[in-house]
Amino acid sequence: MKFLSSLLSLLVLIIVVTAKVPTHRNDLTASEQVQLDLYPTGSWIDSKYDNQKFTQYEGVIHNNSPFTLTEVNINILNPNGLHLRDDTIWNMNWRNSYPPHNQFYLPPGESIYQNNVYKFTFIVQGNGYPQLELGSVKYS
């Protein structure tokens, strides 16, 4: 009987400890839940465009939240007169929005699952380094 009592106590202890172990972080700030990275992946000079510089970038969206992202809007700020080549965007949709900046958004039906990343690629024309700014997001 003492063995059964000890076993029951151990089972209660395991349940209590397991209930207190977090399965994911709910205490993330908004800027920690969705993070953006931008990496140049190549550049070249094109003589067809008056020897303009072209640079290809890979953008990465990190979903660190415990939810699935169903909508992500990213503003692309183009300092120094960079021109976004809207015919060279992969894995994202594009729209020109005002105030004057370009905006990327997830294609319809795309989602970014919890603790996952989504990559997209684009090309800019000109000198400088584009900046990504997180716009609105929606979770499911």
Summarised one tens digit per residue, pLDDT across range 9-61 is 544 445 544 444 444 445 556 667 899 999 999 999 999 989 999 999 999 99
> Judging by DSSP bridges, how do beta strands 83-90 and 101-105 pair with one another?
unpaired
Q: Can you name the CATH fold of 33-139?
A: Immunoglobulin-like (2.60.40)
The domain ranges of the chain are: 33-139
Give the residues across from 61 on adjacent strands. Answer: 36, 118
Q: What is the pLDDT of residues 83-101, one digit of tens each?
A: 887 778 888 888 776 555 6
CB atoms within 10 A of CB 74: 22
The structure's pTM equals: 0.73
